[in-house]
A and B are shown apart, each in its own frame.
Chain A
Amino acid sequence: DGGITQSPKYLFRKEGQNVTLSCEQNLNHDAMYWYRQDPGQGLRLIYYSQIVNDFQKGDIAEGYSVSREKKESFPLTVTSAQKNPTAFYLCASSGRPGAVAGELFFGEGSRLTVL
C-alpha cells in the first residue's frame, strides 16, 4: 500500500548530539514537508521541498537541516544547534506542486526527547 513511513517512532538523544529522522514515501508525490508539533500546539513548518535537489526554509528552520536527493526520501537532521528539540515531528507529502489538490498525507510521526 502507498504511504509515508517515518522512523524511528521514538528517539532519545543526549544534548549536543545530532539526530536524523527518516521520511520515505511511495506515493510518487513531488512535494514533501517537515513540521514540528509541541504539546497542545499547532504545526510549525520547518522545511519543505517541491522537487528533488531543491528545498526551502519554513518558519522555524534554525537548528535543522534537510536533503532531497531522491524523490521518495526527505530526511531531517536535528542538530545540536536546535535549542529545544524535544517535540513531535511530522513528515508529509503532497501531489504535483501547484496541482489543484495540495492535500497533505502525513506519516505517523517521530517523537524526539532530549535527555
Chain B
Amino acid sequence: SQKIEQNSEALNIQEGKTATLTCNYTNYSPAYLQWYRQDPGRGPVFLLLIRENEKEKRKERLKVTFDTTLKQSLFHITASQPADSATYLCALDIGRTGFQKLVFGTGTRLLVSP
C-alpha cells in the first residue's frame, strides 16, 4: 500500500539547535516533494519544494534533502527559534502533468524551548 510516514511523536529541542524531521514514503513515484508548516487552527503554509532530480534545496534557515533511492526526505531547521514551533507536513505531488494532486503525511509537531 502507499504510505507517507513522519514521526508521530513530537520533537522537542532547545532554541539555537538544529531540528531534523524525517519523511519516508513507499509505493509512490513523486515528481516533487514539498514541506509545509501548519499552526493550530490554520491551513498549511508552503515552505519548500524539491524535485526528484534534486538532492538538496535551501531557503534561509531551512534545508531539505531528497533521496529517491531511499524514498526519504529530511527537513532541517538550523538555529531554531520558539517561533518555529508548529506541525511540519511532508507532501508528495503525484500524478501526470496537469492532473497532479498533493498527498500528505500525518505531520510531526516541533516544539522549540527557549
Q: Do A and B come from one complex?
A: no
Chain B interface residues (CB < 8 Å from chain A): none
